[in-house]
Structure 1
Amino acid sequence: MKVREAMTNDVCLAHPDRSIREAAQLMTEHDIGALPIGENDRLVGMITDRDIAVRAVAAGLGPDTKIREVMSEQVMYCFEDEDISDVAQNMGDIKVRRLPVLNRDKRMVGIVSLGDVAVKQGARQAGRAVAGISTPGGAHSQSH
C-alpha cells in the first residue's frame, strides 16, 4: 500500500509569520498536536504543541511570538508514492508520530500519522513504529 492511500489529505497549513497563539487555536480547532508550516508553496517547518510549551512558554515567550521563532525547521517527510510499511518503519527509526507527505515536486499533499498506519495496515505495523519511537534515543534538544 502506498502512503497516498493511508494519508490524511485535508491538512491545515500555517504561515511562519502567524503567532503561536494562532497556531494553538488551529490545533484546538482541528484537534491536532502538530502543524506543518508553509511559505511560498513550500514546507518550511513544523510546530507542535510541545514546541509551544517548551520552546515558547517555558522560555518566557508570549502568545504573539511568531511561529518561525519556535518551529522546527528540519522537517522529516515522506513521499506519497512510498510504501506505507517502509514509512512506518522509518517513523519508528526517526522517532516521529507523523510525517508530512510530499509529491515528487516537493509540494505538500497530506500528512500521515501512526493512527493512519494502524487503520490501514493494522495495529501490529503501527505498534512496531511506536516501539521504535518509545525506545530512548539519547539526549534530545528542545532548542534550535
Structure 2
Amino acid sequence: MNTIQECMTTNVATVSSNQTIKEAAEIMSQDNVGSIPVVDNGQLKGIITDRDITTRSTAQGGDINTPISQVMSTNLVSGHTSMSAEEAAKVMAQHQIRRLPIVENNQLVGIVALGDLATNQMSDQAAGVALTNISEPNKTT
C-alpha cells in the first residue's frame, strides 16, 4: 500500500489571499495548473481554481486586481501525510475533487492530484473508482 507521501507533489506553487486573481492566473499559466493552494503564514486557507476566477470574477464583470480572498474556495477538503494513496482516492471520490492538499501540523506540505495516484502503482481499480465518482454530477445540487 503506497503512502500519500510517495505520490504527492511537494514543490507546490502557492499564493496568499491578498494577492490578485491576475497574479494567480499568471502562475496557473506559467506552471500549467488549474488550481493553486492559498496559504497565509504557512497555513492552508483555501484554494483558487481557474473555474473560481471565471465564475466568481470574470463572469461577474470583476477586475483583474480583485484579491484572491474574494473568489477562492474555502470549503476545503485536505489530507494528511499518514494516509494511504487508497484513502486519498476515497476522499477525492467522496468529495468529487481532483486535487487534495496534504497538510501536516496545519502546514501545507504537498498536493496530490488524481493523475498522481494513477501513475504511482496505485491499484487501477481504486483510481478508476475515484475518477468515476469525481466525474459524476454532484447529486446534492
TM-score, normalization by structure 1: 0.92
Once residues 85 and 24 of structure 1 are traced to their aligned partners in structure 2, the CA distance between those partners, rounded to angstroms, is 31
Q: Is the 8 A contact 1:24 1:49 kept in 2?
A: yes
Counterpart of 1:84 in structure 2: which amino acid?
A
Q: Which residue of 1 aligns with 2:46?
A: 45
Deviations 1:87-135 (A, max 9, x none): 10110111000010011x1211000000100011154322211100112
Superposition misfits of 4+ residues, deviation over 4 angstroms: none
SS at match of 1:64: coil
Once residues 85 and 138 of structure 1 are traced to their aligned partners in structure 2, the CA distance between those partners, rounded to angstroms, is 23
Structure 2: 5+ residue runs without aligned partners?
none
Q: Which residue of 2 aligns with 1:65?
A: 66
Once residues 85 and 94 of structure 1 are traced to their aligned partners in structure 2, the CA distance between those partners, rounded to angstroms, is 14
Once residues 113 and 60 of structure 1 are traced to their aligned partners in structure 2, the CA distance between those partners, rounded to angstroms, is 31
Q: Which residue of 2 aligns with 1:124?
A: 125
Counterpart of 1:78 in structure 2: which amino acid?
G
Counterpart of 2:49 in structure 1: which amino acid?
T
1:115 aligns with 2:112: no
Residue pairs, 1:87-102, within 5 angstroms: 87-102=88-103
Deviation at 1:138, TM superposition (A): 2.9
SS at match of 1:125: helix
Backbone CA RMSD of aligned residues = 1.2
Once residues 30 and 137 of structure 2 are traced to their aligned partners in structure 1, the CA distance between those partners, rounded to angstroms, is 32
SS at match of 1:72: coil
Deviations 1:52-102 (A, max 9, x none): 000110011111111000001121100011011011011011100001001
Q: How many pairs align?
A: 139
SS at match of 1:53: helix
Structure 1: 5+ residue runs without aligned partners?
none
Report the identity percentage: 35
